[in-house]
Structure 1
Amino acid sequence: MIHEALLQLFRNRPELAAEVLRDALGAPVPGFTEARIEPADLTEVVPVEHRADLVVLLLDGRPVLGIVVEAQLGRDPDKEYAWPSYLVAVRARYRCRACLLVATTDEAIAAWCAEPIDMGPPDWVLRPYVLGPSAVPVVTELAEARARPELAVLSVMAHGQSAAGLAIAVAALTAAAGLDQERQALYLDVVLSSLNEAARRSLEEKMKSGYEFQSDFARSYVAKGRLEGQREGRLEGQREGRLEEAANAVLKVLEARGLEIPPEVRARVLASTDMSELDRWLRRAAVIADASALLDTTSS
């Protein structure tokens, strides 16, 4: 989920790739009038498949920069060879400069991703731009979150476990309230999964109380959760009722046959949560000569 959520933020706002390169990582980004997602299948004539996670193309009448976006959640030694091939393919396809942007939610992985890749002499070195948690800004201002909701959600993913997690989450969901329901659903799930338990409970309470960030979708999300909880409660209650009836039926058959029921057998029957087990005991209760044999698993 984290891998796909990271990429979806860039898919939903291609400009985000340029913004984090320029504002968070200090990279030189050329002026552009359009940012769009391009096919990530970089296979050329040579019969070897090269598939990046995402390719963002910046244009100013013509392509000016190709950004290969990779979501990386663990160490993969093959990336040392795959990443350069992605950049070469993008540069050849769009006839423009290309760079690599790696996004991760782990600082140790960020350090690993940032290691330069020596391509060979004389000075051919690939230096990835890496967007780790420490490089992502803490977004708590509502105006900034509304202007760049994807950055706000990215901020929750990076800093949701910190003391500022709840404030960041509130800003992100406030920004998401004006988006389409598909993005709201994704961002809400990402935000909730990125918080610690205490912050998540506080956020859910705010949602239930009708806090200002609450949208029609958020209200329906909470209502759906309540209805599902009520439905699960009703189903559980019905199941418990059926178990109790079945357990009492077993005991009544034994009593009707005049058999003395040992306390441990009675307690075991009443504690059972397995309907098939109770059904089996009910059939045995009609034929056994001693109630203590009810729980005997060695005979039919």
Structure 2
Amino acid sequence: MVLDSKTMGEICKFVKLKPRTVQEISILLKKNWRTAERYIEKISEETGCIKTRIFRGGTRGALKIVYWNMLDDIHSTSFQEELLEEIMKGKRRSDFSPFDIYQYIEDEKKQAHIEDATMIDTDIEISKQQDLITALRNAQKQILIFSGNLSWINSHQQGTPIINIIKEIAMRKIPIKIIARVSIVGAQNVDRLLSINKEVGRDIIEIRHRYQPLRAIVIDNKVVKMRELREPIFYRYGELKKKVEVFYDIYDPEWAEWLQKVFWKMYTKALPAPKRIKEIEKIQNKILLS
């Protein structure tokens, strides 16, 4: 049975009050638990507003709990609240530094490296040290991407096009959600990504429009890869001699989950990319006819 918006709303409202079991949700909907579980998985995949956690896993008494997952309702620390405010207000990558997140992570749960951005185009050439391909291939459940104009889909790592890796992951039925700046200039990038859905047979890749400052990937709520460009023009003379790209890797599940919540806070209010492009084209056509 197809999950409609009314049923989705009922489930979300029910879970927001307090964590629920799958059985409680099936009773609410007057559906069997298999249908209830499919609905829960679909809502989690499409909106991120609810998540599940299994207690006593691997035993006969294993219990799956469904809980509310939106950032507005979690108890963030004061510095996380400040970080959230800065991120939500930011429009361009220069409006926020990922280091402001990285600095709070314990040493054993993070690593960083720097590349000379004057020697290679880091938007196109992905180094072996960065190793984006391995990180993406390790995904098992979901990939969330904070992007700019989607130019990274034209990049490659040691000759392997990243778009091929994205297609490979999509064929494994792993959902990929993307927030990006959608414009006519980058419409071709949007089309290339969404065309993969036709091969998969479902909307496994979804893109929504929003201006935002992060350049990051959250994989399975376990791993976060962030990056930022640092240029001498923004520093005092002599402080930074050349343009560099800084890559931050985080392996802290708590921070990965926090960033996942930031993503869904943006994503749920953002406009689907096809709708955005359609509206831009309408205006362009009017201009051409005027």
Give the structure-1-normalised TM-score: 0.27
Greater radius of gyration (CA): 1
Q: Would you tell me which structure has more helix in proportion to its own residues? A: 1
* Larger RCO (CA within 8 A; separation ≥ 6): 2
Give the structure-2-normalised TM-score: 0.28
